[in-house]
Amino acid sequence: MNDPREALFAAAERVLVRDGGVALTSRAVTEEGGVAKGVLHKYFSDFDTFLAELIISRTAYVATIADELARTAGRNEVEENLAAAMSRLFETPAIQYIKIAIARDEVRKHLVALGQERLPILLQAVAAVSSYIGAEQRAGRIRRDANPAAVAPMLVGALHLLATDEPTAATDYARVRELVVEAIRR
């Protein structure tokens, strides 16, 4: 293994995508990675630390989506820009990472101890959406009385609920666009 930590993260992600969060155990990760169980514990003090670091390592994609969304400000339709970005935020395995952080107290404690928010993917998504809505508002493309700090968590929360109940719903562009239209045009 060139980078054993990354190899373990990749193995965990394959388990998540294929079998879901319920199947994610240290044994499943090491078996998927083709390594002895002790390898995971050589690099991580416990499985919750592993999960916290996995979540942190995989949040970079939120920053990528946020940057792409920011670059669309002033171009195309606001609803198109938001719906395209937001439907990508909840793709598998992202929703699985969110579920893990919500379900496991110890993972959230480790995230905080590692200098992260308790729910980094959700909070980063809220920040990105709020920033974008503010930029479009300053450009005159969204009502001046809209409140980005209120609209963003509402949209992200609604998508999170959709994804939790019906995983493909939050990545369905048409459904996401309906939510966006309702939220920003009211």
At 48-107, the pLDDT tens digits run 999 999 999 988 888 899 999 999 999 999 999 999 999 888 887 888 899 899 999 999
Q: Angle at which helices 47-57 and 105-113 pack, to 10 degrees?
A: 60
Tell me how far CA of residue 152 lies from CA of 42, 94, 128, 148, 157, in angstroms.
40, 18, 8, 6, 8
Report the predicted TM-score, pTM, of the whole model to 2 decimal places.
Answer: 0.86
Q: Report the C-alpha gap between 130 and 153 in whole angstroms.
A: 8
CA distance 54 to 13: 9
Longest dimension (CA), the chain: 58
Give the rounded distance of the alpha carbon of 108 from its chain centre.
15
